Amino acid sequence: MVNKQIGINRDSPKELLYPYSINFFHFINDGLAIIDLSKGPFGQFIEVNDVFCSMLGYTHDELIGLSPIDITPEDLYHNARQFIDRQKSGTDRKIIREITLLSKNGRRVPTELSSHVVKLNGRLIGFGIHHDITKRKKFEQDLILSYEKELQLRQELQNQIHQRIEFARGLVHEIKTSFTPILCNSKVLTKIVTDETAILLTQNIFRAASNLNNRVDEHFDLIRSEVGILNLEYDWINPSSVLNEVVSEFKSRTLLNKNLFRTYISPDLPPLWADADRIRQIVLNLLDNASKFTAEGAEIIMRGYCRESKLYIHVEDNGTGIPHSEKEKIFQSYYRSKANPTKAGGLGLGLALCKYLIELHGGTIKIEDNKPSGSIFKLFIPYTKHENL
């Protein structure tokens, strides 16, 4: 019996508590073990509860007399010996730590051990509470595995993105290298040919070449925006002059379309922290669309003004218009309106890119219906410095 082995004094008032302690010992949910550390080199179990027995698959009688080393996996003998030595020498009398035990059938059982060593009648007695942490350890292991898996997937994704970018960069380079002479030569030709048919043909070649050139740029920009590496070059820009440059460029591009083009650009717009090239790209795209999706002779109006610390730019046309159900969708990549399927156009990337670039500047873009027909593309960019800067 416990009391005999560890020498409990039955005359002590504490003895009154003894039956309750025994109940507590046997009904507690954790494994309890008492070791006489004075016996043998590593001590011997002198009492264990049922939970401790079933944790390790031994019977009570099989465990009594065994030493802690007998229920330790071989690879952990060294740690276990050090641990026992420290407890015996008094260095660590009270310890809470995770240890691993070995069950009778060879299963490793991780437990959290709270151990306390006391001196009783000249003998060193260790009281150990073993909390089975198999589930927690499994959970931790699963967590580590899924973290490692996620890291690996992320790495694979990064590699794929890198390959995709490199491929796109190479492709763009190849296309542009072959393209530059066509663009340059056709531009020169438009200025030197005199025959009317030749002028028309060279203008067509130049227009088609610059369209294709823009499409290639759009594509590459979109790929870069998708992987978050589209970097803008911000500076303080003069919006009035940038918008006027866009107007001249647009006029020179659309000579043949003969749109009525009116502009209302405030002459003294305050300086804006923005990427001038990207602002040109956004507005030109909206103007090109206005021209593409209107009949010849239709009217296009562009406005640029400042209100409530925001630069507003409007591009208005009286063309086909955009149905209400598509006003959000046409800002998605590759979306083209069903309202004007026959019109020549690009791949449906321009507006997606515009929206992305405007948002990088901290602004937004929306579409309203024009009266009696057509659309108004309204965008604003705040004058306050935004977090992308």
Residues that bind ligand ADP in the complex, under the rule CB under 6 A: 285, 289-290, 293, 317, 319-320, 322, 330, 336-337, 340, 345-352, 375
Q: For residues 206 and 377, which CB has a smaller minimum distance to ligand ADP in the complex? A: 377
By C-alpha distance, which of 351, 290, 348, 349 is closest to 321? 290
Least CB distance to ligand ADP at residue 328 (A): 11
Q: For residues 322 and 358, which CB has a smaller minimum distance to ligand ADP in the complex? A: 322
Least CB distance to ligand ADP at residue 164 (A): 21
How far, in Å, CA of 26 to CA of 6, rounded? 17
Token pair for 25: 């010992």
Q: For residues 63 and 300, which CB has a smaller minimum distance to ligand ADP in the complex? A: 300
How far, in Å, CA of 389 to CA of 383, rounded? 12
Least CB distance to ligand ADP at residue 304 (A): 18
Token pair for 19: 């039956």
The three-state secondary structure class of 28 is: coil
CB closest to ligand ADP, residue no: 346
The runs of H, that is alpha helices, within the chain are 2-6, 18-27, 50-56, 60-63, 77-89, 134-192, 196-226, 239-253, 276-292, 350-360
Q: For residues 350 and 363, which CB has a smaller minimum distance to ligand ADP in the complex? A: 350
Least CB distance to ligand ADP at residue 258 (A): 17
Token pair for 341: 């399927």
Q: For residues 305 and 335, which CB has a smaller minimum distance to ligand ADP in the complex? A: 335
Least CB distance to ligand ADP at residue 248 (A): 21
Cβ-proximal residues to 311 (8 Å cutoff; 6+ apart), any chain: 239, 269, 272, 304, 305, 380, 381, 382, 383
**With contact defined as beta carbons under 8 Å apart, do 231 and 278 qualify?**
no
Q: For residues 31 and 319, which CB has a smaller minimum distance to ligand ADP in the complex? A: 319
Least CB distance to ligand ADP at residue 192 (A): 31
